[in-house]
Amino acid sequence: MVQFIEYFEGEQQSVILTEYLEGGELFQRISSPDYHLTEAKCRDLCRQILKGVDFIHSKRILHLDLKPQNIVLCHKLQEKKSSNNGSSSSHNGSAENNQGHPDKLKIIDFGLARALGPPGTGEAIPINMCGTLEFMSPEVMRCSHASPASDIWSIGVILFMMVSGGLSPFWGGNEYRTQRNVLR
């Protein structure tokens, strides 16, 4: 969880001050020429995202805007430094920055999050469309309902993009394919 520091409220706006996460957004990190993305690192990053979402869901909260921009790394990627053998990569298969520390991420931006009712009241809530279209589940896009499965859909899109080198399953040139299909 992102560490809360302070809250300020003014006449026109409110500001929440949190810890500084210097590592940048997920895709900003993995697309860096200095970062060697492997299947093991994808698996580790996805595992962290799933653990974070599992925690959120255990508190009966739906995020509803999971996307790479809302997944931030705690530590920045350091410039590569040559070692004696000329290699700076990790050999244990886990996601690590170039200093050998595991890439640790945090989920941010709960501005669209919704609470599920108390336990026993169901796992779905009625909802209007919210979130980022490219990562939005079909039921949310239909303004039907949202459930923990809605967040899992978004994670699936993120994982697909990670392992495909950034290719989106729903992007078709200048418009979203889903948007063209819905609007025409």
For residues 55-91, b (16+ Cβ closer than 10 Å) or e, as one string? ebbeeebbbbbbbbebbbbbbebeeeeeeeeeebebe
Are the beta carbons of 46 and 113 closer than 8 angstroms? no
Q: Which two tokens stand for residue 32?
A: 């860096």
Residue 54: active-site member? no
Catalytic residue among 44, 54, 65, 151: 65
Nearest to 113 by CA among 58, 164, 145, 151: 151
d(CA 152, CA 149): 5
From residue 163, give the alpha-carbon distance in Å to each of 40, 113, 167, 169: 11, 27, 9, 12
Give catalytic residue positions: 65
